Structures are given as C-alpha cells and as structure tokens.
Chains A and B, each alone.
Chain A
Amino acid sequence: METYNLNYLRELEAESIYVIREVAAQFERPALLFSGGKDSIVLAHLSRKAFYPAKIPYPLIHIDTGHNFEDTLTFRDELVAELGVRLIVGKVQDSIDSGRVKEETGYNASRNMLQTVTLLDSLEEHKIDAAMGGARRDEEKASAKERFFSHRDEFGQWDPKNQRPELWNIFNGKKNPGEHFRVFPISNWTEMDVWQYIHMEKIKLPSLYFSHDRLCFKRDGSVLAFYDFMKLRETEIPEMMRIRFRTIGDITCTGAVFSEAMTLDEVILEVAASRQTERGTRADDKRSDSAMEDRKKEGYF
C-alpha cells in the first residue's frame, strides 16, 4: 500500500501556509513584518505559495533603524519588486526627529530597542490588525510559550498570563476595537528547519549570510561589524575578518561568526555542528536573562 505521509519540512510548510491563509481570511488589514533576515524571507516565500497564482494580499512592513547592512535594503527592494507587493517603511530616524524616542548614547548605543515605538506607530498609522513575524519558539525561552496567534492589548503589549489557549488547528483571531494580533506562522520551525527549507526550496538570501571579509571588532565575546558612527573603546581595534552572519538585524547588535562557509550546503553543515544558539550572537539578548520577555511585553517583535 502506498503511504500517505508528508516529510516533516512539507508538514511544517503546510501548517505555516494554513496559518498564513487564516490571517488573510480572519483579518481586515494584515501585514508581514519584514526584517531582511532569513526567517522573514522564508515567510515572504510561504506567503507567495499560499496565495498563488494571486499576489500576496498584504503589504510588507520594514522597520528601518537607519543602521542597516547595505545588502539588506537592496535585497528588500528586489524582493518587493519580484513579489509585486506594497512596501511600508517605518523609520526610527523619524521617531527620533519627532521626539517620540531618544537616541541611546555610549558604547553600546543601539537603535534596536527604539524600533518598538516606530513599529507600534507604523501599525497604528496603517491600521494593521494582524502583523505576521518570523519568530520561532526555539529561539529563546520566552518564545517557547508563544502562540501562533498572539494577542496584543490596545497598547500593543504582550501579557504572558493572558494568552488564549490554542487547540487543534483552530485559531481565534477575534478581538475588540484597538487590539491587534502578532502572528507567527513558523512558530514550530527550528533554525535548522529554516536552513533546510531554504536549501530545499532554493530560496535566495542576502550575501551577508555567507562567508566574506569584513572590517570587524570584538566586544564582550561578540564579533561586530565596524561602521564609522560606532564608538569604540581603546582596546577595540577593527580589523579584517572572514565572517558571516547567522541572524541579520540592526548592525549595532548583530554579531558575526568566523566562517568559511560560502555555500548553503556549507552553512547547513556549520549550523549543524554549531555549539552556540543563533541568538547567542545577539548583543540585545545579553542585556539580561529576561531581556526578550521584557521586550516582548513592550511590543517588540
């Protein structure tokens, strides 16, 4: 007898497409939060599959810290053109200029935390009622209990004690005025699943994910890319290093790893052999043990 079994990547894909279609069906003004990282690239890819042959029926939102890697914006614009979707850009610089947030100063100054305000303002301006993101439950301990449909109150906040139970494949997206949802279609994927899926589907990625030579410096056990606006301590001397990035975010807090991996196959082998979590390279998570939990409560991705 023929066996009717899906392999696990196809099963994860089917689940994610189901969640994405639920969002399009249940909400009036959904959007996809696009960071330029591999997870949101996979999310855009799944969205394209979910509605084929129609176009993706919602815009991409990119929160631009102004501190992007050069590749990210080019890649974003090419992808948007290819998908034929609308792009909404929320600029942290605008939030700074209008006095909504105050730029951090000092050595570890980062705009990563400021993004939250810009994001919530953008969602409100465009009346987005469901913002999809590429977060996964394997990333960090506060994420392990996250729902696919994560309810946010009228201040955009996440209350871990007041999340709706999620049973079977039934997703409750009902809400009262002013409330909205964050939705995480790839909740059940791990970092390795994402890489294997990228490989299986031959999804294009920014070159930052592959080994290249770059001017970097070391700080608190992380390797950071050097840019002119950064303030360095005396002991921090930028030099050329052969690196790649495991995650891509704001350049001030995205750590690099030493790597010779030039191809997807090599990257996957490296990830499989890696003994550090990918968020282990993120300076923003090192701030405190519950850094992610606190940021989520405020309305971070």
Chain B
Amino acid sequence: MIDYNANELLRFTTAGSVDDGKSTLIGRLLYDSKSIFEDQLEHVKKSSIHKGLEYVDLSLLTDGLRAEREQSITIDVAYRYFTTPKRKFIIADTPGHIQYTRNMVTGASTSNLALILVDARNGVVEQTCRHSLIASLLKINHIVLCVNKMDLVDFSQEAYDKIVQDYRSFAAKLEVKDIHFLPMSALLGDNVVDRSKHMEWYEGPTLLYLLENIHIGSDNNHIDCRFPVQYVIRPQSDQHHDYRGYAGRIASGIYKPGDEVVVLPSGLTSRIKSIVTYEGEVEEAFAPMSVTINLEDDIDISRGDMIVRVHNQPKIGQDIDVIICWLNREPMNPRAKYLLMHTTKDARAIIKEVTYKIDINTLHRMEDDKDIRMNDIARVNLRVTNPLFYDSYSRNRNTGSLILIDEGTKETVAAGMII
C-alpha cells in the first residue's frame, strides 16, 4: 500500500518584503494541499473572527510564538512541512524585515530552492534584489519568483510581463541557473495549488506543480568524494574484537568497496574494505547517506579526519578566504580568536583581514568600511590553527561551509562560505 520510493524531499525557503503575503501563501499551500487539520483550522477561524476579519486569515496558520502573535510579526526562521503524493516539502519560512539577512542566510543554507515573493503593485523592489542576492550567494540552484496579489492589479498580463522583464534584467548578474516566474493570488488561491480562472493568458504551471516537478536530482555533488569522519565505532565486544568503523555522512561523491582512498591529514592510503549499515553491507554509498566505512589497513583515524580519493583531493590550508555573514548582536572583534567548526572538525581562527564589505543591495564592494555588524556580509581572510580540508562553497556546500563561535558566550556568530 505504501510506495516509499515514490517520494523525494525538497527543501525550500521563502522570502518577501513585509506585506507581500508570504504567510498567506504558506497558509494557502498547507491548506490547499490538505495539510491542515480541523483543530488548527478551527483555531484560525476563531482568531480571524476575534480580530474582526471577514475572511479566514490563512496567514495565522503559520503564527508561531506568543511573542510574535502579540506583535503580529515573525521573528525567526520557522519550519513547516507538507507532503503530496510526489514529494515531501520542508519550508524554511524566514521573515522579511528585521534581521532579514541573518535569518534568510540560515533558512537558505539548507534549501534547494527559494520562493521569492513580490507584490504585483510594487514590482521588483530593493528587498527582492537583496533576497535574490542572498539566495545566489548561498548557491541556491532554483528560484521561483511569485508575483503575488495579481487580484489587486486586475490580473493584468501587462503588469506581470513588466515585472518578469525587470527581474530578468536584474537576475542576469546572479549565479542562479534556474529561474521560474508565476502570477498568483495567495489570498484567493489562484495558481497556488489550483489553476487561476482569472488569468487565461498564463499557460505555465501552478506553484505546487512546479515544486513537485522541479528537477533536484543533480543538486548533490556526486563527483568529489569527501567523507568527514564523524565518530569512530569500536564495539570492543568479543564478536567484533578488532572492529574499527568510521562513521559519518557522505558530504559528496560515491564510495564503493575496493576504492583506493587516502586519509587526511595523515596522507596514509588504504582501500575500503566494506561500507556498513545496520541492514548490512552496501555496494555503494553517496551523499547524503549516513554510513560506516571500514578500511583494509589499520590506520589511526579520528573525528575531524577526512577519507577522500587519491586522485581527487580537497584543498588543504590554514589561510582561507571566506565570505561571512555576521549573525550576532555583538559586532566582529577584528583581533579576537573565534572557535571554528567545519565539517566534523573543530579549530580556532583569527580574522586576519577584512578584504571588503558587500552592499547586499548592489553587490558593490565597500573597501573603506570594515566594521562588521549583525547582518553584514563581508569577505575576510581567516588564519586557522589547524589545516582544514575544504573545497570552494560553490563546488561543495558541505566542505565549503563553516561557522565561527564566540569563545566566551559560545554563540554562533558568523556563517562562512569558502571562496
């Protein structure tokens, strides 16, 4: 009765300015895909009446904490889920205004796709560009530009075409390969799950159809073999006396028993004896599988080491150029040491130099302003205590990303993408 293999997982993030109707759109997706239960809907109906509204405000479905219900704003990334017979979806719902950069970077870091909303009355605005640039910076492969509130421009094709035109000319400088456009009214449900009856001129798919069918299979890197060792499994039982398994999640590439591998940083080579899961040994393993690798030879390997192919190795170094997004209220301290986490490796780092700050509205480089505060994006040079095994973020999200942590508070203060 259940076909487990039919479903893929698509993670997407949503961005829009304050009143672009993002919460309504998500509420509409959840509602029209029948992911809303009676008690939730009942609750929203009551709240809508309580607020004196004449319609059921679907945006209330995504209201989170009491703190934001009181202020009617969204203050952090919230995760929503819905499933159709074709795919399971994870939505990273990020707020449009305050702390937008920090939250959108967080939401985008785990997403394959970004939904960017514009209000059909306002067209492409500064925030649209900013959200798109962040999506591009985080290497999101697919953008869907949702031209919302078409009902307020009389479902005008002309208005829609102009926005598409404007966005296309802006998007030419982005590194996003796959951009889709669609006209919709989240409030009325037009082109969200069901086709609009008001826009006969639009012949493209509905939003849900797009989300269900966009090809995401090639988003994972299956070329460069990178296996950061996460945990060493040593049963120390009679049955598995000399067993040493290296547990981890494949960051990229395809591993098979018999592969000749090299272990970093030792540089020692061996072959893969077996790839073990609880179900038994597997013939091949690829990202994002969690497995345990056994090697032919007894090599001293610990957490933070990386098992890679002999003829395809990552860069190894202690001086690293990174684009960072500052996430913390405390500004960056140029002389401080920070803890650094990269794959399964811990190190310490100092920020040796701020090369330039990036104006996220224009991508303009600011070389004379080097104070880094919350929501700032900058290119910096890091000096790390131990060599990292890394790839550029644009080639490999898993081995090209890192975070910086304050040594005192232990808070995550920056997200970094290696150049």
Contact = CB atoms under 8 A, between A and B. Distances in A.
A165 B105 CA distance: 10
Contacts of A22: 230
Interface in A186-239: 187-188, 190, 192-193, 196, 199-200
A287 to B, nearest CB: 14
Nearest to B401: A168
Interface stretch (A11-19, A70-78, A91-99): A11-19
A277 interface: yes
B412 A160 contact: no
B235 A53 contact: yes
A8 B8 contact: yes
A48 B278 contact: yes
A196 B3 CA distance: 10
Nearest to A165: B106
A53 B240 contact: yes
B90 A188 contact: yes
A105 interface: no
A14 B249 contact: yes
A138 interface: yes
B8, B87, B102, B105 — most chain A CB neighbours (10 Å): B8
A196 B39 contact: no
B65 A18 contact: no
B403 A276 contact: no
A166 interface: yes
Interface string B351-390: 0000000000000000000000000000000000000000
A137 B81 contact: yes
Contact of A14 (B2, B233, B289, B405): B289
A167 B290 contact: no
Nearest to A195: B2
Nearest to B233: A54
A145 interface: yes
Given A145-B65, A192-B83, A52 B401 contact: no
B415 A277 contact: no
A15 B105 CA distance: 20
Contact of A11 (B9, B40, B77): B9
B277 A49 contact: yes
B65 A276 contact: no
Interface residues of A, number: 66
A274 B110 CA distance: 30
A126 interface: no
A3 B106 contact: no
Contact of A144 (B64, B67, B344): B64
B40 A199 contact: no
A265 interface: yes
A163 B39 CA distance: 29
Interface in A126-143: 137-138, 141-142
Interface in B208-227: 217, 220, 222
A176 B409 CA distance: 7
A103 B405 CA distance: 43
B107 to A, nearest CB: 9
Given A141-B64, A160-B65, A4 B220 contact: yes
A269 B412 CA distance: 43
B198 interface: no
B32 interface: no
Contact of B4 (A7, A141, A187): A7
A104 B63 CA distance: 32
Contacts of A9: 4, 7
B411 interface: yes
Given A4-B286, A51-B233, A21 B9 contact: no
B412 A275 contact: no
A176 B8 contact: no
A290 B68 CA distance: 12
A277 B40 contact: yes
B108 to A, nearest CB: 9
Given A277-B37, A290-B66, 15 more contacts: A5-B8, A7-B4, A11-B9, A14-B290, A52-B278, A53-B239, A55-B237, A144-B80, A145-B65, A145-B78, A165-B327, A168-B109, A188-B90, A199-B2, A275-B38
24 contacts: A12-B9, A15-B288, A21-B231, A21-B248, A22-B230, A24-B231, A49-B278, A51-B231, A53-B243, A54-B235, A54-B236, A54-B240, A141-B65, A144-B62, A144-B78, A145-B76, A161-B75, A164-B412, A167-B403, A169-B110, A170-B402, A172-B411, A199-B2, A293-B66
- Which 9 A-B pairs rank lowest in CB-CB distance, beginning with the nearest? A54-B235, A8-B9, A49-B278, A174-B410, A17-B290, A275-B38, A167-B109, A280-B39, A290-B66
Interface of A: 3-15, 17-18, 21-22, 24-25, 48-55, 137-138, 141-142, 144-145, 160-161, 163-170, 172, 174-176, 187-188, 190, 192-193, 196, 199-200, 265, 268-269, 274-277, 280, 289-290, 293
